[in-house]
Structure formats: C-alpha cells, structure tokens
Amino acid sequence: MPKIAIIDIGSRSVNLEIYSVLNSGFKQIYYNSSASFLGQNVSREGDLDSGAVLRTQEILQDYKRIIDGYDEADRFTDFADGLEIIAVCTAAVRDSASRHDFVDMVVGALGEKAEVRVLSGDEEAIYTFLGVINSTELNEFVMIDTGGASTEIALVKDRKLQRYASIPFGAVNITEKHFNSIVVPPHRFSEAVHTILPSIEGLDWIGECKNLPIIACGSSVRQLAIAEMRKKLAGAGSLHGYMINYSNVEFMTRQIGKMSAHDRVDKLGIKKANAETITGGLVPLMALFRATGSRRMVVSEFGVSYGVFYEQFARLNKMISAVEPDVLACSMRRILDRYNCDNSHARAVSALALDMYDQTQKVHHLGERFRNILSVGAYLHDIGEYIGYHNHHEHSFYLIKQSDIYGLEHQDKFYAAVVAGHHRKKKMHFDWIKYWRLISRRTFIDLKNLGEIIHIAEVIAEREPGATGVRLQIAPQTIQVVIEKPAKARGEVAYGNSIGRLFGRKVFVV
C-alpha cells in the first residue's frame, strides 16, 4: 500500500501531511504545521535570513524523524513499503538568491530519496487549483491562496482552470511593509489594500470574475473563519466548506485589526503563530473582494499540499485526469470505506429514501437542496456503527459533522448530520445551546422528518431485501405503498405505521 508524505515549505510555516493510499481510496493519517517565518528579514541581496533557515532545517529534521518513526515502527499494519517524500518550496525560496544552497539543505535534512521541488508561481497556482477543485463541487469561482510571500489568484469555469496569476504579496511581507505594530488602524489597512489593488485589477481577465463566489485558502483565511465560527457556531464541526459573506469578512477583519496579538489568541482562538501576520494575510482577500464585487467566500482547507498529493494519487490510479468528476460521491465512498460500512446497504437505503422524497414533494414542499442533504445523510447514516452499534445514530451525527465531506457546503453537512442522527426510533439528544444560531426550529423539524424517511427506507431494505423501489399513491386521506420487487412481497409490513405517522394518512401496503 503506497504512502506519500508531502512537505510544504512556505514563507511562514512548514507543513507535513502523510497520506495512505489503497486502490481508489486514501486517508490522511498525519498532519503537522510549524512556524518558520522563512520569508521574514530577507536581505537586500535576496538572501534568506540565516536564523529562519536554521529554524526550517530543525523543523525538517524533526519531520524526518516523524516519517522514519511511521515507516520503521510499523505503527500501522500497512506501512511495509516505506514512504515517498515530496517537498515543495514556494515564494520565499523561489525568489531567494540562495535557493540552490537552501535546496541542498532540504535534501540533507530529508535524505537523498526525497524529491525536492521549487515551484514556480504558475505551478503553485496549478497545484492550489488541484487541491481546491478536488474538494468542492462548485463549477465557477475565483480562487485565492495567500501565503507568506505571494498570493495566487485563479479563475475557474466549468471546473477547468481558465486563467491564473501569482502576485508578490503575502501575509509576511505585507505585514513587514505596511504595519509597524500588531494593532492595525482601519486607515492603515485600507492603505495596504489600495497598494496591492492595482496588481489584481490589472489582470486582463479579472473582469470575467465579477460577482463569482471566492474560494479562499491559506492560514490567514482559515484563522479568520475559525474566529467567526467560534463567535457564531461553536461545535459546528470541521472548517472546510464554511461560507462567510462579504460584510462578515469585513467586520471580522476590522475586529482582528483592533486587537493585540494576545487578545487575538485568547478571545478569538487564532493560533499564536498567525496572530502577528493575520491582518497582512487578509489584505489580498479584501482587495479581491473589491476588484470582483463578490459577496461571499467559501473556506477551503486544501491547497498546494493536497494538489501535489492528488497528482500522485491520480498517477497511482492511472486516472485520465487529476480532477475528480464527482467529488461528493467519491468523498462519501471513501468515508464508508474508512468506517468499514456496507456499501450496498448504504446505496439501497439512499435510493429508497430518495424515491420516497421525490414522490412526496407535494407533501413536504422541500427542494433540491434538501434532497441532496437527504442523500448524504442516508448514504452515511450507519457510519456511527464504527464506534458502536448502541446509539450509533448519535455517533453518526458526530462523525458526519466532524468529517471533511468534499463537495458539500458547511451548513448542509451539518444538516446531513442531523438527518442521519434521527434515522432511528430512539431519540437523539440535540444540544440547542450549541446550535441555536445554525438551525431554526422549523428546519430542525424538517430534518427530523427526513431522518424518519431514512428509518422507513432502512426497514424496507432490511425486511424486503429484493426491493427495487417504492411507489407511493397519495390521496387526501390515505397513502398506498407499493413495494417493487421481482417476487411478491412476503412477511409483516411494520413500516406502514411509520409512513402513516410521517405523512398524516392511513396506509395500505401492497
């Protein structure tokens, strides 16, 4: 089973991600990030700061020990083949006069077998695109990835990379140039935005980006989203796919700028390593908002590292393209595999649940969005059995809420978790104190009813294993349920009463 370690040597931090690949599936089994500030205090001649280089070397040596520990100690049973190590260097190294010496240092720290690349600005944009496009189902958007010393911007249409550019502004060098203190007055922030705005507005294709949603990567954006989520949606799950509108991004940026580094950490939950440079990292994002007129931003936790990995994953699986055609379906299938779930049962329950949903449209009056939510909840409803069968519906709620389900918006993932959590007769405890900002009472009732549809679908799938579909003939006072299967249905049809309660009609099962 191949294992791949990706090391991203950025201008602010060095990140290590280790992936385990099995056929068409994979899982991330390790992640670490260490601040190096490699892009700080670069000399006039373009030489990297010796202290920053030494910090980076120590981080890489530590990462090599971690990789060797995974490889040699057989921590997982699938670690017999060794790990492939790929290290990529971005803007700070790319623009350095001493980059060849730096690459030699990286090879010395990681070993001769490690593949070390210095990415061009175009390559960095392309790998960021691969990381983003394989974790979203949006077809058209503007992408921005703000690092320590550069920012990559790209236009994506029909899920294809149309245009892209790299501009030499990032969290570290913007902070050094424009902000002489941690607390940033609004006028200083506006001056910084207007300084780099011409570089974005000067792109000859930026006019094609008008009003498109922005997908944003980078540690500064993630920390802003964490702070916003902490204020509004405590305990709502993982960050990927979290959507913030422009007014909230602007408000949070002002709030962060007014705070000291200590308050940013203590009151907003921002990582200490990001506390001093986060405002500089948000400058390119605000400039892009103004250049495009976009009104919302979606957070992506995946960028260059994931893109480099996905290129290798596509190669191992002999994929025609490194871009997944159906991100959501692939993501759910990998989650089922991870939790050792019965794929055929999940497909059967999901198909029956969607069948009933479509036929009862005039009763529940919910649209395509909730159909998609039901599909995810039905497909993943049993993953909680990985923890234990008893109360597995509550375990499913937690696992779905916390999982990175690519191709699903953050709120819809939470809704799918609620649906899966209510797929059994046994009630799930739902903490309104945690989630009252995220879900209304009316929506909660709708989601509970969708959970009941999954329950009915699961009972039919278990008691009528040959069922190929369900036909519901709905009248004002009655509903007739026809189980479609090759042979005539036999046995007790105990799910009839459940359908009757859900739709408020007497039930006849054929």
Residue 321 included in any domain: no
Domain containing 350 — which CATH number?
Answer: 1.10.3210.10
Weakest mean pLDDT among 141-145, 310-314, 433-437, 495-499: 495-499
Tell whether 171 is covered by a domain. Answer: yes
Residue among 301, 278, 285, 202 at smallest CA distance from 250: 285
C-alpha closest to that of 328 among 136, 161, 143, 140: 136
Phi, psi of 53 (to 5 degrees): -65, -40
Task: Return the SS3 of 129.
Answer: helix
Write down which residue in 119, 153, 184 finishes a domain. Answer: 119
Q: Are both 142 and 100 inside the same structural domain?
A: no
- Gap between the Cα atoms of 430 and 421, Å rounded: 9
Q: Which residue has the tokens 């649940």?
A: 353
Quote the CA–CA distance of 280 and 173 in Å, as a whole number.
8
Are 284 and 351 within one domain?
no
- Residue 318 CA to residue 312 CA, distance in Å, equals 10
Round to whole Å and give the CA distance between 386 and 379. Answer: 15
Tens of pLDDT, residues 169-189: 999 999 999 998 999 999 999
Quick check: 448 pLDDT over 90?
Answer: yes
Same domain, 383 and 257: no
Instruction: Give a yes or no: residue 493 inside a domain.
Output: no
Based on the fold, state whether residues 353 and 291 are members of the same structural domain: no
- Two structure tokens written together for 43: 């000399």
Same domain? For 146 and 248 the reply is yes
Same domain, 174 and 260: yes
Q: Last residue of a domain, which of 428, 451, 466?
A: 466
Together in a domain, 428 and 376: yes
In a domain, 481, yes or no: no
pLDDT in tens, 48-102: 889 999 999 999 999 999 998 776 544 544 444 567 999 999 988 998 888 999 9
In a domain, 489, yes or no: no
Residue 177 lies in a domain: yes
pLDDT at 82: 62
Last residue of some domain: 301, 319, 337? 301
CA distance 474 to 462: 24
Residue 415 structure tokens: 């809704």
Render the burial of 38-47: b for 16+ CB within 10 Å, e for the rest.
bbbebeeeeb
| Domain containing residue 212: CATH number | 3.30.420.150
> What is the C-alpha radius of gyration for the chain, rounded to an integer number of angstroms?
25
Average pLDDT, the chain: 88
If one compares 434 and 448, the residue with the highest pLDDT of the two is 448
Q: For 365-410, how does the pLDDT look when each residue is reduced to its tens digit (9 = 90+)?
A: 999 999 999 999 999 999 999 999 989 999 999 999 988 889 888 8
Nearest to 173 by CA among 49, 39, 67: 39
Rounded alpha-carbon distances, angstroms, from residue 239 to 213, 336, 402, 404, 408: 17, 21, 9, 8, 12
The whole model's pTM is what? 0.85
The pLDDT-based confidence of 465 (bands split at 50, 70, 90) is confident
Name which of 86-100, 231-245, 265-279, 431-445 the model is least confident about: 231-245
Q: Is the pLDDT of residue 256 over 60?
A: yes
Q: Give a yes or no: residue 319 inside a domain.
A: no
Question: 421 is written with which tokens?
Answer: 């959590």
Residue 498 lies in a domain: no
Length of the chain: 510
Residue 258: exposed, middle, or buried by beta-carbon count in 10 A (0-12, 13-18, 19+)? Answer: middle
155 and 290, same structural domain? Answer: yes
Residues 160 and 291 in one domain: yes
Per-residue model confidence (pLDDT) at position 76: 47
Q: Are residues 148 and 274 in the same domain?
A: yes
Please tell me whether residues 195 and 251 are part of one structural domain: yes
Distance between alpha carbon 352 and the CA centroid of its chain, in Å? 28
Structure confidence at residue 306 (pLDDT):
95
The domain in which residue 28 lies consists of 3-119
Q: Which two tokens stand for residue 315?
A: 């190669």
pLDDT band for position 286 (cuts 50, 70, 90): very high
Asked whether residue 114 falls in the same domain as residue 143, the answer is no
Task: Give the H or E element holding residue 196.
Answer: helix 186-201
Number of domains in the chain: 3
In the DSSP assignment, the letter for residue 491 is S
Question: For the segment 128-155, what is each residue's pLDDT rounded down to a tens digit?
Answer: 999 999 999 999 999 999 988 899 999 9
